[in-house]
Amino acid sequence: MAEKPELDVLLGTERTFPPPSAFARDAVLGDPAVYEQAAADPEAWWAAWADRLEWIEPWETVLDWSDPPHAKWFDGGKLNVSANCLDRHVAAGKGGRVAFYWEAEDADEQGEDGRKEVTYEWLLDQTQRFANVLKGLGVGKGDVVGIFMPMIPETAAAMLACTRIGAVHNVVFGGFSASSLKERMEVSEAKALVTADATLRRGAPMPMKEKVDPVLAGLPDLKHVIVVNRCDTGCEMKPGRDLDWHEALAAANPVCEPEPMDSEDPLYILYTSGSTAKPKGIVHTTGGYLTQVAATHRMVFDLKDDDVYWCAADVGWVTGHSYIVYGPLANGATSVMYEGAPDYPGRDRWWEIVERYRVSILYTAPTVIRSFMKWGEELLAGHDLSSLRLLGSVGEPINPRAWLWYHEHVGGGRCPVVDTWWQTETGAIMISPLPGITTTKPGSATVPLPGIEAGIFDRKGKLIAEGGGTLVLTRPWPAMARTLYGEPERFVETYWQRYGADTYLVGDAARIDEDGYFWIVGRIDDVINVSGHRLSTMEVESALVSHPSVAEAAVIGVPDEATGQAIIAFVTPQDGVEAGGEFTAELREHVAEKIGKLARPKTVCYADDLPKTRSGKIMRRLLRNIADGKELGDVSTLRDPSVVEALTAQVENATEG
Ligand code: WTA
């Protein structure tokens, strides 16, 4: 059997990788002294990066941390994000520069439309037009706009149009279910929604508008739906509510002046999973966020003018926000945006894309790398990948075996690998190598970036210099989340209470080694990371128990070779329900409907009762041990010890099958 990813990390590897000397010589940051300089005066460090943006009015203070955990960065300053991402490049004569090489999933069949060179000029035009459309619908500063979109250039334009007029976008990943979308629109009181008729997935249109239509009626605040026609599916349009994107933009005024925004005005909300069933609406603000995403995009990816950069995440996650849209566009970068699946029409689609556009920087997730490993390196052999010079990883711990494979087979042994640790809450990369400076160790995200300070508390609540424990961030950073939308107390309680109001509790366990390198082990809360997607056990449990035939459910994450973690559900069906194959399929479908396909349990085990203490508390630790096949120890405190046997037998069957 293959090693479990966790074990693989523990085994580690003795090999280290110093930056290749030519890379170090030409790097954006090549002098290790930057770490000391930034540590000596972090505010000056971040202010220097902020200075590279265009401010309408200068800030008065770099950081106000007088009332932790409420930070203000660049307070008093005014700027507009879309102007920084678009206008200033166009004004500098770079309007014709490619912002995105957009590649449709069915590029070959689509002919001319299948591959688009999206220039900064075009994006600015679309952004201004759509900003005017929104204004015309009565959407203004501070209003929330939902975005439920495929990976198409219009998605970036929609986000930028919101920033142009100071509206706050709330992007929901296109793979989420209609009811997840509804919940996120409802709690954020979104006034308008941007979506598409459909998106392509493995060659077939997957309806989006039709999927959300049934829930729209239940959203009284949501008065307008703008629909991009991507697949010509001829979806139904409700007169008075639904607008066709292309028609509306064609008729719109092409000029929309950027709204001067306060540095601390909200930029966007992005929902992510926490310990409870209710997702958290992470709120990011304007000046600090843009400063750090632009800075980290330049320094971590060593961005140069002639680079072709490809972040293969979906724009619906924070990685897409920070490293497809805002960081790269603020830096005037040229990126690739690919619409579809990595294995369509063939499993070498990605390598064809790298070769076609001469991609030089590739940023993806360990789960994808592990899929490629499984498919075999022969798929890479037929493609010229010599343009690549830097590789990045994000979303979950990368096991050394996957790291080494990525380095050797994708990077030809010559490209530094940057394993970037961060979160939706941090907004931008926090712990990562600087590719021209840091010697990497496969499996470690290495050290905090200059200006960032992290630490580890042991079990006794002591900050330690070496060893394992709970990861914290001990200094405010510009892109930090400012609050949870509508839940300011939850923000403080979740992140800023355990070790004091100025210490951010990450929610990850980590180890720090003798060289001060950080090794992220995994989550300490009830969050499961499936293929780099964050889900809470409670969210999945409440989806399961909402099925009328489920009496009770408990969910845990277990190590999985392909997806990092996989979901196992333990279910007690209602009396008279026949557990097993068909019912399992029904439950998986039910979870897909409630949350999205990504949340479907891999395995469902049944028992007449779940292992509980006599006081009725479900013993998750025991469930975890059952799933791991570990010694269970004393189960006599259980209300009904026999359920353990029943579950153990099922788990064994499931792993063999
Ligand atoms: C995990 C994604 C190890 C971690 C940007 C974190 C990682 C959670 C890494 C955030 C990494 C992300 N190494 N673990 N390089 N990157 N994680 O909010 O557990 O979707 O807390 O943000 O993913 O996930 P989120």
Summarize pLDDT for 35-70 with one digit per residue, the tens: 999 999 999 999 999 999 999 999 999 999 999 999
**Atom of ligand 1 at shortest range from CA of 420:** 15
Q: Which of 314, 423, 517 most suits a substitution to test ligand 1, by most atoms within 8 Å of the C-beta?
A: 423
Name the 3-class secondary structure at 85: helix
Instruction: State the pTM of this model.
Output: 0.90
Closest CA to 392 of 335, 450, 467, 456: 335
Higher-confidence position of 653 and 368:
368
Residues 6+ apart with CB under 8 A from 436: 19, 23, 24, 26, 27, 28, 29, 30, 302
Q: Which of 447, 508, 536 most suits a substitution to test ligand 1, by most atoms within 8 Å of the C-beta?
A: 508
**Atom of ligand 1 at shortest range from CA of 421:** 15
- What's the CA-to-centroid distance between 421 and ligand 1, angstroms? 6
Pocket of ligand 1 (CB under 6 A): 272, 317-319, 394-397, 419-424, 445, 507-508, 520, 523, 529, 534
Higher-confidence position of 3 and 219:
219
- What's the CA-to-centroid distance between 510 and ligand 1, angstroms? 12
The fraction of the chain above a pLDDT of 70, given in percent, is: 95
Take atom 24 of ligand 1 and give the residue whose Cα is closest. 423
The pLDDT, as a whole number, for residue 549 is: 92
Give the DSSP letter string of 151-180.
SSHHHHHHHHHHHHHT-EEEE--TTB-HHH
- What's the CA-to-centroid distance between 43 and ligand 1, angstroms? 26
The pLDDT, as a whole number, for residue 575 is: 85
CB 595 within 8 A of CB 540: yes
Take atom 12 of ligand 1 and give the residue whose Cα is closest. 395
Residue that has been written with the tokens 């929604």 in this structure:
193
Q: Which of 444, 484, 529, 530 most suits a substitution to test ligand 1, by most atoms within 8 Å of the C-beta?
A: 529
Per residue in 98-116, pLDDT tens? Answer: 999 999 999 998 888 899 9
Kindly tell me the burial class for residue 68, based on how many C-beta atoms sit within 10 Å of its own C-beta (0-12, 13-18, 19 or more): middle
Higher-confidence position of 621 and 64:
64
Per residue in 467-509, pLDDT tens? Answer: 999 999 999 999 999 999 999 999 999 999 999 999 999 999 9
Structure tokens at 253: 């005024």
Q: Where are the beta strands (DSSP E) in 42-143?
A: 61-67, 70-75, 78-79, 98-103, 115-119
**Atom of ligand 1 at shortest range from CA of 272:** 18
Take atom 22 of ligand 1 and give the residue whose Cα is closest. 423
- What's the CA-to-centroid distance between 431 and ligand 1, angstroms? 11
Q: Where do the domains of the chain lie, and which CATH numbers do they carry? A: 531-656 (3.30.300.30)
**Atom of ligand 1 at shortest range from CA of 398:** 13
Does pLDDT of 390 surpass 90? yes
Looking at the DSSP assignment, which residues form a beta bridge with residue 235? none
Name the 3-class secondary structure at 70: strand
For the chain, report the end-to-end CA distance as a whole number of angstroms: 13
The pLDDT, as a whole number, for residue 546 is: 86
Q: Which of 421, 452, 504 most suits a substitution to test ligand 1, by most atoms within 8 Å of the C-beta?
A: 421
Per residue in 627-640, pLDDT tens? Answer: 877 766 666 666 67
- What's the CA-to-centroid distance between 1 and ligand 1, angstroms? 26
CA–CA dist 579, 607 (Å, integer): 9
Residues 6+ apart with CB under 8 A from 55: 77, 78, 79, 287
Residues 6+ apart with CB under 8 A from 267: 81, 163, 168, 284, 285, 286, 289, 290
Per residue in 328-354, pLDDT tens? Answer: 999 999 999 999 999 999 999 999 999
- What's the CA-to-centroid distance between 444 and ligand 1, angstroms? 13
Give the DSSP letter string of 235-253.
----TTTEEEHHHHHHHS-
**Atom of ligand 1 at shortest range from CA of 507:** 21
- What's the CA-to-centroid distance between 224 and ligand 1, angstroms? 34
Q: Which of 296, 394, 563 most suits a substitution to test ligand 1, by most atoms within 8 Å of the C-beta?
A: 394
User: Is residue 581 very low, low, confident or very high in pLDDT (cuts 50, 70, 90)?
Assistant: confident
The pLDDT, as a whole number, for residue 278 is: 84
**Atom of ligand 1 at shortest range from CA of 319:** 5
CA–CA dist 66, 45 (Å, integer): 20
- What's the CA-to-centroid distance between 422 and ligand 1, angstroms? 5
Structure tokens at 61: 């203070």
- What's the CA-to-centroid distance between 258 and ligand 1, angstroms? 33
- What's the CA-to-centroid distance between 139 and ligand 1, angstroms? 34
Cα→Cα distances 497→156, 478, 505, Å: 36, 20, 8
Instruction: Give Cα 278 to chain centroid, integer Å.
Output: 18
**Lowest-confidence segment of 16-30, 210-224, 277-291, 605-619 by average pLDDT:** 605-619
- What's the CA-to-centroid distance between 294 and ligand 1, angstroms? 19
Take atom 3 of ligand 1 and give the residue whose Cα is closest. 397
- What's the CA-to-centroid distance between 264 and ligand 1, angstroms? 25
The pLDDT, as a whole number, for residue 489 is: 97
Residues 6+ apart with CB under 8 A from 565: 396, 522, 528, 529, 530, 557, 558, 559
Looking at the DSSP assignment, which residues form a beta bridge with residue 446? 518
- What's the CA-to-centroid distance between 533 and ligand 1, angstroms? 9
Does pLDDT of 657 surpass 70? no
**Atom of ligand 1 at shortest range from CA of 425:** 18
Does pLDDT of 9 surpass 70? no
Take atom 10 of ligand 1 and give the residue whose Cα is closest. 423
Q: Which of 271, 284, 422 most suits a substitution to test ligand 1, by most atoms within 8 Å of the C-beta?
A: 422
- What's the CA-to-centroid distance between 536 and ligand 1, angstroms? 14
Average pLDDT score over residue span 373-397: 95
Cα→Cα distances 157→126, 127, 545, 553, Å: 6, 5, 39, 42
Element (H, E) at 545: helix 537-545
CA–CA dist 332, 431 (Å, integer): 24
Take atom 25 of ligand 1 and give the residue whose Cα is closest. 423
- What's the CA-to-centroid distance between 382 and ligand 1, angstroms? 33
The pLDDT, as a whole number, for residue 185 is: 97
Average pLDDT score over residue span 75-81: 98
Take atom 4 of ligand 1 and give the residue whose Cα is closest. 396
Q: What is the largest CA-CA distance in the chain?
A: 75
Question: Of all residues in the chain, what percent are helix, strand and coil, respectively (each to 5)?
Answer: 35, 25, 40
- What's the CA-to-centroid distance between 520 and ligand 1, angstroms? 9
Element (H, E) at 565: strand 564-573
- What's the CA-to-centroid distance between 534 and ligand 1, angstroms? 8
CA–CA dist 534, 455 (Å, integer): 23
Give the DSSP letter string of 569-619.
EEEEEPTT---SHHHHHHHHHHHHHHTBGGG--SEEEE-SS--BBTT--B-
CA–CA dist 417, 146 (Å, integer): 35
Does pLDDT of 1 surpass 50? no
CA–CA dist 285, 72 (Å, integer): 9
**Atom of ligand 1 at shortest range from CA of 431:** 15
The pLDDT, as a whole number, for residue 12 is: 52
Pinpoint the alpha helices (H) of 282-339.
287-300, 318-320, 327-330
Residue that has been written with the tokens 């907004």 in this structure:
427
The pLDDT, as a whole number, for residue 458 is: 93
Per residue in 519-552, pLDDT tens? Answer: 998 888 888 999 988 888 888 988 898 898 988 8
Higher-confidence position of 201 and 484:
484
Closest CA to 341 of 201, 187, 480: 201
CA–CA dist 424, 578 (Å, integer): 41
Name the 3-class secondary structure at 65: strand
CB 288 within 8 A of CB 312: no
- Whether the ω angle into residue 214 lies within 30 degrees of 0, i.e. cis, is no
Mean pLDDT of the chain: 93
The pLDDT, as a whole number, for residue 5 is: 43
